[in-house]
Structure 1
Amino acid sequence: MTALSRALAVLKLSGTEANARWTVFNPATGLVVAELFEQPGQQIKVAVPRAALEVFRRRDGNVAQGQLDMRARTEVELRSSDLKTVPMAAYLYKGEIGLRLSAMVGMQSFVAKSFRSEYIDSLPLFSLGLNYQGLGLPELGVSLDLSFSHSRQQMLLDAKEFNQTITLFQGGFSLPYQLDFGSFSIALGPRVAMMYVQRRKEFQGGELSTDTVTMWALGGVGRLGWRLNSVPVSVGIEGRLSYTPAPTKDGLRNELLVEAQMAAGFHF
């Protein structure tokens, strides 16, 4: 009994509203220590391990959170007024560090039909993304993405038909602001990217030509996501809209670039 008492501390929870639910969570073990309902005007005592704990209070879809270090304390009182309001996602996905690794597949296309027919047609796009949520604010994140495409196309320029093989590498950086609605989320933010494009052209008669270009793209990104509650996995749709100075026979020309991808992500 003496060893057990030394391993435990007492947490006192106080609130003034009915139908509020308290959850005590141990991030080190990933286990819920206790779940109980608030009793207005009454103090609830619960034995907890001597560890760094997270305490959540839920009522009517609202969530508040507090963090306690019980490692050197025997008794702590926590009131509902001591907690800070957090998004529902903080409770649903407690214990995660806020990282998401995603795989995406979709299409990339320039809006102008004349540019697509003469220079670069629509391309399949394969991407990997890494997102960290909680950059100063719970809703603010930072994302990195890497994309690749390889495609053979038939083009027409100055009444001359030719085939070309496109190889594209793209790296992007964005700052999405995410709003959570239970298992669903919406994220919007600015994005900047750099693209490396190689065009290997094959003309009638066997003439070959290869050129490469590096382009910057500035625009925004949006994501609709759905989080599976049973496993740390989410699925979603991601779209990007960018302006980029694209090369033409008359020099650089600003073009509008659209990208749309299906995404699946694993959360850490």
Structure 2
Amino acid sequence: MSGNGKVIAYQGERGANSHIACKDVYPDFEAMPCRTFEDVFAAVESGEAQLAMIPVENTIAGRVGDIHHLLPGSSLHMIGEHFMRIKFQLMALPGTKIDEIEQAYSHVMALGQCRNFLRDRNITAVTAADTAGAARFVAGQGDAKAAAIAPSLAAEEYGLEILAHDIEDAQHNTTRFVIMAPEPIDLAASDGKAVTAFLFQVRNIPSALYKALGGFATNGVNMTKLESYQIEGSFNASQFYAEIEGHPDERPVQLALEELGFFSSSIKLLGVYPAHPARERFG
């Protein structure tokens, strides 16, 4: 436990990218690993942790699907966002030479991101559950021919030596995280650029979605994200997750949300938080 008793929960093992994000944004918090995203949400809702660091999308892999299915039933609020450049390192037992490596273990997405590096060195890719877990496995296996592809923090956590740095093929690989807490933050419209996130279900009437979204266009509100997913065993995609640029206290946003309400059976505000400076680069 940290000296101030503050804890931030994340999904994965120590040394994972989510662990790094926790350390980057909240260095004074103790980062608590959890097995599943459900466990992360439960840790904050129970008070075991004060915050959660949740990956929601990646520039290559797209959205993290599990998260959107947890949001409707959660009592947590989004209070911030963080963009993190994802870098992968090749790591092995101390003293190992790179030309000794025959197999590299990692998550399937990480292996795909480092395909050129592995092919050029004739290293066989072996799928593992996650990147940090692969590093832990290599450290415990004791095989000098095996390596892991993982973030640099994993090498520190499990006593491995980095043989090659930043081996990913795509240099733009970036993950966006949201920070979640039991209570919303008090953010005023005058505090700067804001993001408003919400869930909504459209009414069962013709052209409901088209009509529901019309207010954002007519009022000049930029909707940066709109995603649909099935609920309650139905094949009809009637629930949507959306993000807009702006604060609910701003008149154009007020008008757009009012029109959304006319054609929606429910709207759930998930959070109003400051827009991260990196948002413009990936917009």
**Same fold flag (TM > 0.5):** no
Please give the TM-score of this superposition, normalised by the length of structure 2: 0.19
Please give the TM-score of this superposition, normalised by the length of structure 1: 0.19
Greater Rg over alpha carbons, structure: 1
- Which structure's residues are more often helix, by fraction? 2
- Which structure's residues are more often strand, by fraction? 1
RCO higher in 1 or 2 (8 Å CA, sep ≥ 6)?
A: 2
